[in-house]
Amino acid sequence: MAKTVEYQGYTIQSAPHHPADGDKWLLRIFISFEDRRGVQTGEFSADVRYATEREADIHGIAYGQRLIEGKVAGRSVKDMKMPDRPATPRFRVQFRTTLSASTKLEGTGVMLDLSTGGCRIESPVTVEPGVSLKLSISVPDLDWPLMIEAASVQWVSGQIFGLAFFRIRDAERQRLEQVFNDLKEGESLAG
């Protein structure tokens, strides 16, 4: 269902998990916000199990709101805002990217910059904050496109928008890290 809600300057994205070992759903959410370092995203979950995905979705959003309000003992989104946390490097790129969403939205764009947690894309496709997109990124030197299962639109300015990656398969995450390391290496050689 992947319900998304804006709340007190944060984006709460519900992504319930259905473990293979049972018929119940686990609550899992991603909370993100943008600051001077880019998009910061944290994953939160609870051990409570729900009968349906919809129920886990609804309780996930409420759980996220309580986290943001500081009402969950021992858990807080304040850790995400620590000023001394190292900024994730962001590299300027020009990668052709195909975008798609469950709402049958599909189109192409150009990725303008990339970090391990998100990117900026320029595209004629109209999107709104909170929308979840699947990305297929054509990276030179890769045999096949890099796939991001789900990225949440954080902000929109004209035809440019920012995305936070929140669901990537392990194999694709390793490929993304390799692309990132190659970009880092290329920058240090150029500098």
Tokens linked to 129: 């904050």
Q: Specify whether 179 is located in the same domain as 143.
A: yes
Q: Specify whether 172 is located in the same domain as 115.
A: yes
Q: Specify whether 136 is located in the same domain as 175.
A: yes
Q: Does residue 58 fall inside a structural domain? A: yes
Number of neighbours of residue 53 by Cβ within 10 angstroms: 16
Average pLDDT, the chain: 84
Q: What is the pLDDT of residues 135-187, one digit of tens each?
A: 999 999 899 999 999 998 888 888 999 998 888 899 998 999 899 888 888 77
Q: Does residue 184 fall inside a structural domain? A: yes
Q: Which of 43, 39, 17, 48 is nearest to 30 (CA)?
A: 43
Q: Does residue 175 fall inside a structural domain? A: yes
Q: Specify whether 145 is located in the same domain as 112.
A: yes
Q: What is the pLDDT of residues 117-129, one digit of tens each?
A: 889 999 998 888 8
Cα–Cα distance between 57 and 49 in angstroms, integer?
11
Residue 93 has pLDDT above 90, yes or no: yes
Q: Are 163 and 152 contacting, i.e. CB atoms less than 8 angstroms apart?
A: yes
Please tell me the total count of domains within the chain: 2
Q: Which of 65, 50, 62, 64 is nearest to 17 (CA)?
A: 50
Q: Which structural domain range is residue 96 located in?
A: 91-190
Q: Specify whether 69 is located in the same domain as 121.
A: no
Q: Are 2 and 49 contacting, i.e. CB atoms less than 8 angstroms apart?
A: no
Q: What is the pLDDT of residues 54-92, one digit of tens each?
A: 899 899 899 889 888 888 877 777 766 644 444 567 888
Side chain identity at residue 69, one-letter code = E
Q: Does residue 183 fall inside a structural domain? A: yes
For the beta sheet containing 25-35, the strands, ordered from the edge strand earlier in sequence to the opposite edge, are 4-7, 10-14, 25-35, 38-50
Tokens linked to 4: 């998304």
Q: Specify whether 75 is located in the same domain as 118.
A: no
**CA geometry: angle at 133 spanning 17 and 136, to 5°?**
105
Instruction: Answer with the one of 81, 109, 142 that is the final residue of a domain.
Output: 81
Q: Does residue 86 fall inside a structural domain? A: no
Residues whose CB is less than 8 angstroms from the CB of residue 102 and which lie 6 or more positions away in sequence, other chains included = 2, 132
Give, rounded to a whole angstrom, the gap between the first and last alpha carbons of the chain.
Answer: 45
| The predicted structure's pLDDT at residue 84 | 44
Q: Does residue 141 fall inside a structural domain? A: yes
The maximal CA–CA distance of the chain, rounded, in angstroms, is: 55
Cα–Cα distance between 136 and 111 in angstroms, integer?
11
Q: Specify whether 128 is located in the same domain as 184.
A: yes
